[in-house]
Every structure is written in C-alpha cells, then in structure tokens.
Structure 1
Amino acid sequence: MKQNQNSRRTNQLAHEKLATIMLFEVSDPDLQLVTITGVEVSVDRSFMRAYVSCDASRYEEVSAALERAKGRIRSLLGHALGWRVTPELAFQIDTTTDEAERISRALENVPPTLGVEKDENGYPIAADAEGNGDDTADETAIDVAPAGDEAEGE
C-alpha cells in the first residue's frame, strides 16, 4: 500500500492502540505471547489489517483465538481510536520472524566451500597454482592479463 505521512501516522496510532488492547484488555490465554508486528489501515479508515507474530507451533490456535475475540477487540479499538468509523478487522499471521530464524540457522551451517580462498573476482584460487606441477593456472593468468602488462613484465 502506498504510504504518505498521514497514512503512516494513522497506522502507527492504530498499531499502538491495538497493541495496548491486546496486552491489557484481552485476557484470552491463547493470545499470550502474541505480538502485533504491523498494522495497515485503509485510506477511508474502514478496514484494518493487523499482522500478528507468535510461535510457529501455535498458528492455528492463535488464529482461532483472534477470530473469537475479534468483536471485543474491534469494540475496544473503536473507543480507543475515537474515529468516526470503527475499522473492520482482519488478522494475518506474520511469518517473517520464522523465515529470518530459518535463514539465520542456515547461515550458521556454512558449507565448507565458502571457506575456500578466492581471488578479487570471487573465483576460487586453485591449490595447484603454487607450483605443484600443474601449469594451467599460470597459462590462464597469462591469457587473461591485458596486453600492456605483458610488455612491462619482459
């Protein structure tokens, strides 16, 4: 959704009010350890999508609890915001934290090929280039070198 200063302010206000309601007003045990990660309010303020983060094993449980409490949350939100129209609520599970954790675990298990020494172009430096009998690395270096460098070397 395209945002301007007014819509960012509206989203921020709705985010703060919804988070406060979820923390202090809603006493459903299924909604413990639930975080509101973001809120998008439509331009006419008639619809609001709230992104909710929780443990990956509790997605269905939290979704069901949010559906049960949606009417109460909407009523409290209408009083807290004081807008002419109370927005219709839609909750969506935010899985970005789970994806970030998965990527972090993948980066911890670095494959051994990433530890190989590389040249300035990112190509692996051959182990045989140190004079182990293979002349292909030296020939390649000569073929790739610009013509001006060969004249200086002679």
Structure 2
Amino acid sequence: MRRATSRRAAKLADMIMQELAKIMVEDIQDPRLQLITISGVRLNRDMSVAEVLYTHIHGQSDELTQALNHARGFLRSSLGQNLRLRFVPELRFVWDTFLEEMVYDQKP
C-alpha cells in the first residue's frame, strides 16, 4: 500500500484514530475488544483504505482479530455518521509491532 503524505491525509488519519478509540470505549459491547488500543492510522494515496494499527494488553490472538473483523462494518458506519464523511475508507486492522521491536532491539 502506497501511503498518503499530504496534510489532509494526516489530519483525516488522526480524526479516524481518535473517533475509533472513542467508539471502542463507548459503543462496542464485545468484551474481547475492551482493552484494545488504537495506536495509529495510515491511509493510502487515494484515501480509500485505512490501516488501523492496534495493540492489546494480552497480546495478539486470532480471537481478537476475528472480533475486529466482525466489528468492522459497525465501526465504519459509525465513523461515517460521527465524522460526516462522504466516503469512509475501508478499515484494515494491523497488529502494531512498534513497542515489541523497541523492547527486543535494545542492546545491552
């Protein structure tokens, strides 16, 4: 995926990240998604796909991935209503490895 680099894309990505985090806290009823953290959003060049980076206190699991994929439609429609977007990007959930890489890459 070729990433967008414009200010508009960065602003939209931040808005999507904040709104998704809010929706996860206030509206999602699935107990598997309660301790999830949205750590970032990356948009592609035409802003049709949003990669949502996430972490969870218990680590990565297939059950968590299934829960996110199951909630994808609800999250997308909620984004469209709350942000009043004409077109809401497709949401793709990607495990954020940044913290893991920081811990394991440190040299003694």
Q: Normalising to structure 2: TM-score of the pair?
A: 0.83
Supply the AA of the counterpart residue of 2:93.
Answer: F
CA distance in structure 2 between the aligned counterparts of 1:46 and 1:2, rounded to whole angstroms: 10
Question: Whose Rg is larger?
Answer: 1
CA distance in structure 1 between the aligned counterparts of 2:105 and 2:33, rounded to whole angstroms: 27
CA distance in structure 2 between the aligned counterparts of 1:59 and 1:21, rounded to whole angstroms: 21
Aligned partner of 2:7 in structure 1 is 5
Decide which of 65, 68, 71 is 2:73's aligned counterpart: 71
CA distance in structure 2 between the aligned counterparts of 1:22 and 1:3, rounded to whole angstroms: 27
CA distance in structure 2 between the aligned counterparts of 1:40 and 1:57, rounded to whole angstroms: 21
Aligned length, in residue pairs: 106
Decide which of 101, 104, 108 is 2:103's aligned counterpart: 101
Aligned partner of 2:82 in structure 1 is 80
Unpaired segments of 5 or more residues in structure 1?
111-154
1:61-104 alpha-carbon deviations (Å, 9 max, x no partner): 21111011111111111111211112211111112212222235
Q: Give the fraction of aligned pairs with identical amino acids, expressed as a percent.
A: 31
Q: Normalising to structure 1: TM-score of the pair?
A: 0.61
Unpaired segments of 5 or more residues in structure 2?
none
Task: Tell me the secondary structure at the aligned position of residue 32 of structure 2.
Answer: helix
Task: Tell me the secondary structure at the aligned position of residue 71 of structure 1.
Answer: helix
The question of whether the paired residues in 2 share the 8 Å contact of 1:45 and 1:85 is answered with no
| Residue 2 (structure 1) shift | 4.2
Q: Runs in 1 of length 4+ with deviation above 6 angstroms?
A: none
CA distance in structure 2 between the aligned counterparts of 1:11 and 1:18, rounded to whole angstroms: 10
| Residue 43 (structure 1) shift | 4.2
